[in-house]
Structure 1
Amino acid sequence: MPSAPHAPRWDVHRLPPARGRSFLVTGGNAGIGYFVAEQLAATGATVVLGSRDRAKAEAAIGSIGSRVPGARVRHMPLDLADLATLEASVDGLGLDRLDGVVLNAGVALDHPPRRETGGGHELMFATNHLGHFALTHHLAPLLLATPGSRIVTTGSFAAKSERLDLDDLQSAHDYRPKRAYGCSKLAQMLFALELDRRLRAAGSTTLSVLVHPGGALDSLTPSRPPIHVRTAGERLSRLPLGLVVQGKDAAAWPAVRAVLDPSVRGGRLLSPRAFGLRGTPRIEPLWKHLTDTTTAARLWAVSRDLTGSEPAFTAPTGFGAT
């Protein structure tokens, strides 16, 4: 018997068309999120940049438009550190469906002291994890209305060596900036996998997919003025590092594939091919501590209590009735 046909190899430079589809990228005005948005816009999709800073978002929209003729890109005001504003942000989208969201925005603090949001949460944990947890709750009706929609969560290599202290999730007793950042990203990754389990239990067609971008440096990232300007000197001085890590344009590839590739399934982890640091995206086995379902379920319960919200993907009675 002839063997079953293989799915075509994913080509980061030949993305499938997505005209008529809508995607939201949090933090899409800068860094890796910008390149996720630019690459998705090139497929013909409508791309919404979730960003606190309107001026930066407008600069990103202008940059994308200069590279992608006819790009459909717009801004959604989004402050993940202010949970009370998220419902209004989603209401302002003006969409009746959403094909995917890339939970990409994040904040990293390099030095003490510990900072808190207006709601009293540690800033990195609040922005990177709690804000995305609550945002997913508010986006659920739009995603539920879109068969096969996707929730793509951006993790980090920094989470690989961390473990969550469920009694000190917000680093109130032991605050070390790099550790707090890594734990906030680990919380995001555990959330993505627990969300996948809940989506499957509910029989939902929405997929939760996990990605991490590998190693990404500004000096290896192509210029996108005024968003990012790389000098020739910077590029030449960091060329040897290109053997190990990559630019932020390539770091966007796992998320873009997670959004668009019809062969990707929920609960998978996509990462760069070469040691998880650089190269084209591939499906990677889950890190051992990401398979800890007990910790993930407890984190979900704590996140629900801290945000006062809970992503749910079971259609209410009469949903979609005419």
Structure 2
Amino acid sequence: MSSTTQGRTWDVRRPPAAEGRNFLVTGGNAGIGYFTAEQLAGTGAVVVIGSRDRAKGEAAMASIRSRVPRARVRHLRLDLADLSSLKTVVDRLDLGHLDAVVHNAGVALDDPPRQETGDGHELMFGTNHLGHFALTRWLAPLLSAAPAGRVVTVGSFAARSERLDLGDLQSVQDYRPKRAYGRSKLAQMSFGFELDRRLRAAGSTVLSVVAHPGGALDSLTPPRPPAHGATPGRRLRALPCALLVQGKDAGAWPIVRAVLDPEVAGGQLWGPRVFGLRGLPRCEPVPPHMADPAVAARLWAASEELTGATGWSGPPLGGGR
């Protein structure tokens, strides 16, 4: 896809209408996820905000409805750290099909000590990767029931400098918070690319796409009370940073395009145009370490074992037409 085609056909502020389509955004109550949900709600689609906290979900919905007349938004209680709860998500969604799931929710820890989920997994790896891995497995029938379902995995610039340690995926032997976060996002992105390879091999109509927001700061983000707010002084002090990075509203652009653009293909990576940090969305080259099939196959096998979310080769994944 040429940059000329991209620039001519896509307006980030006026995405195409999507009435009759259903989207699930994990972590849609705040940050990048909130602005993804807000922008998708403007298309006329049903947008389900998945988050653990109902009060925060309701605040996000109130903010979206104040900006998007007749927005069709719902909240779904979703805890990615609780693997045993994820299989029931399909029933609680109460939808006949799901046109896209946006794997956005995540945990980022800055300081030790190492923390674990209730299932005993390192918190960032368990939530960011394993939770989304299992959720995709259970959502597969709804995604296959859509005319052209999509799985959009939200990665991070932090994953570019990391490499997976397949012998210590959960940072038991050597825990460093920032590195563990980057590796959890790399695991997500590796999963997204491997998922598309498997979907293509199965003849599925579902696509798997990876997107990232670049450099997106709260202090450059427009206020969305009661869901989000930054003081005028904080926004003013952050203005020089806008030469290199952007707000979370703009950080959502590549993700929204990955969900909606009919020209997007499976296995692609979308991010901001300017150094991968800011600007309009574009399709980027995929770094080799993110799409290494041998590494991805071992990660996939480990993820199945850790989550119990098996059976990917059967009908729920295929869904070909």
Cα distance in 1 for partners of 2:174, 2:277 equals: 29
Following TM superposition, by how much is the alpha carbon of 1:311 offset from its aligned partner in structure 2, in angstroms?
Answer: 6.6
Q: Which has the higher helix share?
A: 2
Say what the alpha-carbon RMSD is for the aligned residues.
Answer: 1.5
Q: Is the 8 A contact 1:140 1:313 kept in 2?
A: no
Q: How does 1:188-267 map to 2 (within 5 A)?
A: 188-267=188-267
Q: Is the 8 A contact 1:83 1:134 kept in 2?
A: yes
Following TM superposition, by how much is the alpha carbon of 1:291 offset from its aligned partner in structure 2, in angstroms?
Answer: 2.8
Following TM superposition, by how much is the alpha carbon of 1:9 offset from its aligned partner in structure 2, in angstroms?
Answer: 2.5
Cα distance in 1 for partners of 2:131, 2:154 equals: 13
Following TM superposition, by how much is the alpha carbon of 1:227 offset from its aligned partner in structure 2, in angstroms?
Answer: 1.2
Post-superposition CA distance 1:173-193 (Å, at most 9, x none): 000000000000000000000
Q: Which runs of 4+ in 1 moved over 2 A?
A: 5-9, 310-316
Q: How does 1:267-278 map to 2 (within 5 A)?
A: 267-278=267-278
With 244-253 and 287-296 compared, the bigger mean Cα shift is at 287-296
Following TM superposition, by how much is the alpha carbon of 1:231 offset from its aligned partner in structure 2, in angstroms?
Answer: 1.7
Q: Is the 8 A contact 1:144 1:315 kept in 2?
A: no
Cα distance in 1 for partners of 2:81, 2:290 equals: 25
Q: Is the 8 A contact 2:207 2:265 kept in 1?
A: yes
Q: Is the 8 A contact 1:213 1:277 kept in 2?
A: yes
Structure 2 CA distance for partners of 1:6 and 1:230, relative to 1, 3 Å:
closer
Q: Is the 8 A contact 1:208 1:267 kept in 2?
A: yes
Following TM superposition, by how much is the alpha carbon of 1:118 offset from its aligned partner in structure 2, in angstroms?
Answer: 1.1
* Correspondence for 1:100: 100
**Amino acid corresponding to residue 75 of structure 1 in structure 2:** H
* Correspondence for 2:315: 315
Post-superposition CA distance 1:175-216 (Å, at most 9, x none): 000000000000000000000000000000100000011001
Following TM superposition, by how much is the alpha carbon of 1:313 offset from its aligned partner in structure 2, in angstroms?
Answer: 6.7
Cα distance in 1 for partners of 2:111, 2:59 equals: 29
Unaligned runs of 5+ in 2: none
Q: Is the 8 A contact 1:23 1:47 kept in 2?
A: yes
Normalised to the residue count of structure 1, the TM-score between the two structures is: 0.95
Normalised to the residue count of structure 2, the TM-score between the two structures is: 0.95
Cα distance in 2 for partners of 1:77, 1:176 equals: 30
Post-superposition CA distance 1:136-157 (Å, at most 9, x none): 0010000011121100000000
Post-superposition CA distance 1:282-319 (Å, at most 9, x none): 00000121131100010000000000013737537xx8
* Correspondence for 2:54: 54
